[in-house]
Amino acid sequence: MKQRCYRKKGFDWKRYGGKGIKVCKKWHNFINFYDWAIANGYAENLTIDRINSNGNYEPKNCQWVTRAENSHRAGIYISNKKILCIETGNIYNTMVEASVAVGLKNSSTISEALMLRRKFGKVKKTAGYTWDVV
C-alpha cells in the first residue's frame, strides 16, 4: 500500500499516489494496521481491497477479499474494457472470466501480460494465448 501511494518510481504509483490516494496516518505504524486487519477478517488467502476505488486506504474504505474478487474489481476499474484472446478471438468481460475459460487458477498472469503489452509494447503469452484489451 505504502509503495503504491508514496513511491513515485513504483510500477503502480500513477494509479494510486499519482491520483492522490493515501494510506491513513494511523496505518503508517504496522502494528495499527495489523490490529485492524486481524479484527476485520484477515486471512492468508485474502487481499486488501478499497471499497471506493478512488478513496484512501483507511479502515472505513477497506475490506478483505479473495484475489479473484479483487482482480475482477480491478480489471473493470483499470480499463473499463474487455479482454481479448487474440488466438481465439474470444472476448471476456474480466480477467477472471478469461482465466477461468483457459483453465488458469488466477488472473495474475493475464494481468501481467496485459500490463507488459500496454506499458512496454511487449507481448507475453499466458497459457499459450496472447491477450489484449478492446
Contact 4, 12 (CB under 8 A): yes
Q: Tell me: do 61 and 101 sit in the same domain.
A: no
Domain count, the chain: 2
Q: Mean pLDDT throughout 61-68? A: 83
Which pLDDT score, from 0 to 100, does residue 37 have?
A: 95
Q: Tell me: do 41 and 21 sit in the same domain.
A: yes
pLDDT band at 53 (very low <50, low <70, confident <90, very high): confident
Set of cell numbers at residue 106: 488466477
Q: Tell me: do 4 and 20 sit in the same domain.
A: yes
Q: Tell me: do 58 and 31 sit in the same domain.
A: yes
For the question of whether the overall pTM of this predicted structure is more than 0.85, the answer is no
Which residues, other chains included, contact 85 with Cβ-Cβ below 8 Å and sequence gap of 6+? 91, 92, 98, 101, 102, 129, 130, 131
In the beta sheet, which residues pair with residue 84? 91, 132
Which pLDDT score, from 0 to 100, does residue 59 have?
A: 96
Which pLDDT score, from 0 to 100, does residue 83 have?
A: 85
The yes-or-no verdict on residue 78 having pLDDT over 80 is no
Q: Tell me: do 44 and 10 sit in the same domain.
A: yes
